[in-house]
C-alpha cells in the first residue's frame, strides 16, 4: 500500500491528460466522462496537494453524474484523500465502498489509513503534551517571579 500511495504520476502523463481535458472543454464546451476520469486518476497521483484536491473535486462530481462508475470513483476518492492525509474522509469512502462490496484492495487501503491516522493522533498528543509542559513552566515561572 505504501508503494502505491508514494508512487507519483510521471509529469508528462499528467500533462497529456490535462491537454486532452482542456481540448475537449474548448472544442465541445464539455468534457467526456472518460477524459474526466483519466485526468482525475492522474491528478490524485500527483506530488502536489492542489492537484490532488482538484482530482478529488472531479471525482466527487463524477460520482454524482455517473453512478455506473461509482465503484472506481469511491476508491480513488479514498486514495486521494489518503495521499493528502485527509484520513477521516479517506476512511469514510473506504467504508462506503466496503458496505457495498467486499474487496481486499479497499480493505488494504482502509487498514493503511487507520494506521497512519493513529500515528498522526499519537504525534499530535505528543506535541500537545509538550506544549502544555512548556506553557505550564512559563506560567509557573511567571507566578514564581510575581511572588518575588
Nearest residue (CB) to other proteins, 24 versus 137: 24
Backbone phi and psi for residue 103, each to the nearest 5 degrees, phi listed first = -155, 120
Binding test (CB under 8 A) with other proteins, winner from 27, 28, 101, 148: 101
The answer to whether 42 touches 70, Cβ cutoff 8 Å, is no
For residues 137 and 109, give the distance between their C-alpha atoms in angstroms, rounded to a whole number. Answer: 42
**Nearest CB to other proteins, comparing residues 64 and 139:** 64
Burial class from Cβ neighbours inside 10 Å (0-12, 13-18, 19+) for residue 40 reads buried
| Near other proteins by CB under 8 A: residue from 21, 31, 36, 41 | 41
CB closer to other proteins, 99 vs 146: 99
Total number of residues binding other proteins (CB under 8 A)? 22
Helices (H) and strands (E) in the chain, counts: 7, 0
For other proteins, the closer of residues 20 and 92 by Cβ is: 20
Check residue 38 for interaction with other proteins (CB under 8 A): yes
24 near other proteins (CB under 8 A): no
Interacting residue with other proteins among 31, 36, 37, 56 (CB under 8 A):
37
The grid cell for 40 is: 482525475
Amino acid at each position: 500500500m505504501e508503494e502505491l500511495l508514494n508512487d507519483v504520476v510521471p509529469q508528462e502523463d499528467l500533462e497529456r491528460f490535462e491537454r486532452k481535458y482542456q481540448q475537449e472543454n474548448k472544442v465541445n464546451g464539455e468534457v467526456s466522462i472518460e477524459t474526466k476520469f483519466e485526468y482525475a486518476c492522474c491528478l490524485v497521483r500527483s506530488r502536489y496537494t492542489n492537484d490532488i484536491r482538484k482530482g478529488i473535486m472531479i471525482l466527487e462530481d463524477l460520482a454524482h453524474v455517473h453512478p455506473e462508475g461509482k465503484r472506481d470513483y469511491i476508491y480513488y476518492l479514498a486514495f486521494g484523500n489518503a495521499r493528502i492525509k485527509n484520513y477521516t474522509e479517506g476512511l469514510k469512502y473506504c467504508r462506503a465502498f466496503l458496505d457495498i462490496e467486499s474487496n481486499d484492495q479497499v480493505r488494504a487501503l482502509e487498514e493503511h489509513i487507520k494506521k497512519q491516522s493513529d500515528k498522526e493522533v499519537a504525534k499530535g498528543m505528543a506535541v500537545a503534551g509538550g506544549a502544555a509542559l512548556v506553557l505550564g513552566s512559563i506560567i509557573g515561572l511567571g507566578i514564581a517571579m510575581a511572588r518575588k
